[in-house]
């Protein structure tokens, strides 16, 4: 298939005619069994026709991902939920109506239309309706009986891309088309909910906070511990990882750790979110500091792009200040933890 250049979208929500034409091209590529990287509000996805086993195989090959790790299926409308899933609990409908389109993935009993290769043979399927005009336009162009199987558009275990340039760096010409929809607004992957015994539990914290879920369902949520039966790659202890070793340290100790590394002439980047005074620890020229937002939404939006930037800058260590112990920071704490497990 001919490799096409990336397409830039205008910053407005209105899709330009040119962009719409390219979305049409992307839909043609998907119908023909190719792969398309597309923006969502969380991270960029690497999409292919969910009903085409050869296209699904391409996703696993491009990502270098083990084939028993299931893919999320992206749909263009809530009404398509019952086309791809069965035996849907009432609470799943409530969450879908409340948060879709949005950064929430529902793991449900799969319908017979879902192929084994999409779910790694598991009886469930992860479904999500993304909130990005380009993603929705692509899904609508494909029609109501098509859906996009799409993991994040990065190589397995690496940081998810939040811009089209990141996708280009990660996957290059292996993907048939990259649609550029600007920087992702959420910046972290979707929250994944499963319904074990019809009770909702969080498999992966993400773009929707536990407190918003509790408000929507008027009840507490269980944060599932890693389930050895279900292969959730985002639940592997090492994932979303930069190449540079990353350490997490408390607000009190991070400066001292940075200093100790600097004394060994190691190049260190320290990411803080609080307004701690780090100047006493800045005695070594090889230690740099970067201030992240103290707001979890803004921090989450910037995290992957920042990690990627510092990863490419050739530091010996990245040090992150431990995030606040508050449920709104759960997804950030989770990603930093996995990024630090080398």
Question: CA dist 222 to 8, 128, 229, 260, 292, Å?
Answer: 40, 20, 18, 40, 29
The count of C-alpha atoms lying within 13 angstroms of the C-alpha of 216, restricted to the half-sphere facing its C-beta, is 20
Helix (H), strand (E) at residue 74: strand 72-74
Nearer to ligand TXA among residue 152 and residue 244 (C-beta): 152
40 binds, among ligand TXA, Mg ion, none (CB under 5 to 8 A by kind): ligand TXA
Which residues make Cβ contacts (< 8 Å) with residue 140, sequence separation at least 6? 76
Among Mg ion, ligand TXA, none, partner that 119 touches (CB below 5 to 8 angstroms by kind): ligand TXA
Smallest distance, ligand TXA to C-beta of residue 284, A: 37
Binding site for Mg ion (CB under 5 A): 152
- Give the CB-nearest residue to ligand TXA: 151
Please, how many CA atoms are within 13 Å of residue 99, restricted to the half-sphere of its CB?
30
CB of 292 to ligand TXA, least distance (A): 21
Nearest to 182 by CA among 207, 169, 158, 165: 165
Helix (H) or strand (E) holding 321: strand 317-321
Cβ proximity to ligand TXA, 56 vs 322, nearer residue: 56
181 burial via Cβ count (<10 Å: 0-12, 13-18, 19+)? buried
Which residue lies nearer to ligand TXA by CB, 189 or 321? 189
Question: Shortest distance, CB of residue 327 to ligand TXA, whole angstroms?
Answer: 19
- φ, ψ for residue 49, nearest 5 deg: -60, 120
Residues in the site for ligand TXA, rule: CB under 6 A?
A: 40, 42-43, 45, 69-72, 103, 105, 107, 119, 122, 124-126, 128, 130, 150-152, 189-190, 192, 203, 230-234
Beta bridge partners of 85: 110
Nearest-approach distance from CB 239 to ligand TXA, in angstroms: 8
**What's the closest the beta carbon of residue 136 comes to Mg ion, in angstroms?**
21
> With respect to Mg ion, which residue has the nearer C-beta, 102 or 126?
126
**Residue 42 touches which member of Mg ion, ligand TXA, none, C-beta under 5-8 Å by kind:** ligand TXA
Q: Which is nearer to ligand TXA, 71 or 333 (CB)?
A: 71
């Amino acid at each position: 298939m001919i490799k096409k250049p990336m397409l830039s979208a205008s910053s407005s929500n209105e899709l330009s005619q040119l962009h719409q034409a390219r979305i049409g091209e992307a839909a043609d590529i998907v119908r023909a069994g190719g792969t398309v990287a597309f923006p969502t509000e969380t991270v960029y996805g690497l999409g292919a026709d969910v009903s085409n086993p050869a296209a699904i195989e391409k996703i696993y090959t491009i990502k270098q991902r083990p084939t028993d790790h299931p893919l999320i299926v992206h749909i263009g409308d809530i009404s398509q939920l019952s086309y791809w899933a069965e035996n849907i609990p009432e609470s799943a409908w409530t969450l879908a109506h409340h948060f879709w389109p949005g950064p929430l993935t529902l793991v449900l009993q799969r319908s017979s239309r879902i192929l084994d290769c999409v779910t790694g043979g598991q009886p469930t399927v992860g479904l999500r309706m993304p909130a990005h005009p380009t993603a929705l336009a692509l899904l609508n162009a494909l029609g109501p009986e098509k859906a996009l199987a799409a993991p994040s558009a990065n190589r397995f275990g690496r940081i998810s891309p939040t811009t089209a340039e990141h996708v280009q760096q990660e996957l290059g010409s292996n993907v048939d088309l990259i649609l550029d929809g600007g920087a992702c607004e959420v910046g972290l992957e979707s929250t994944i909910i499963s319904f074990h015994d019809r009770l909702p539990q969080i498999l992966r914290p993400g773009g929707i906070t536990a407190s918003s879920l509790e408000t929507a369902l008027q009840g507490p949520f269980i944060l599932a511990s890693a389930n050895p039966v279900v292969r959730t790659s985002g639940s592997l202890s090492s994932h979303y990882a930069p190449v540079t070793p990353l350490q997490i340290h408390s607000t009190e100790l991070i400066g001292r750790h940075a200093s100790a590394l600097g004394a060994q002439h190691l190049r260190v980047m320290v990411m803080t979110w609080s307004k701690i005074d780090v100047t006493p620890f800045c005695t070594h020229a090889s230690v740099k500091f970067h201030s992240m937002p103290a707001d979890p939404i803004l921090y989450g939006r910037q995290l992957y792009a920042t990690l990627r930037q510092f990863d490419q800058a050739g530091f010996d260590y990245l040090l992150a200040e431990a995030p606040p112990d508050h449920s709104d920071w759960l997804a950030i704490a989770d990603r930093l933890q996995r990024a630090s497990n080398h």
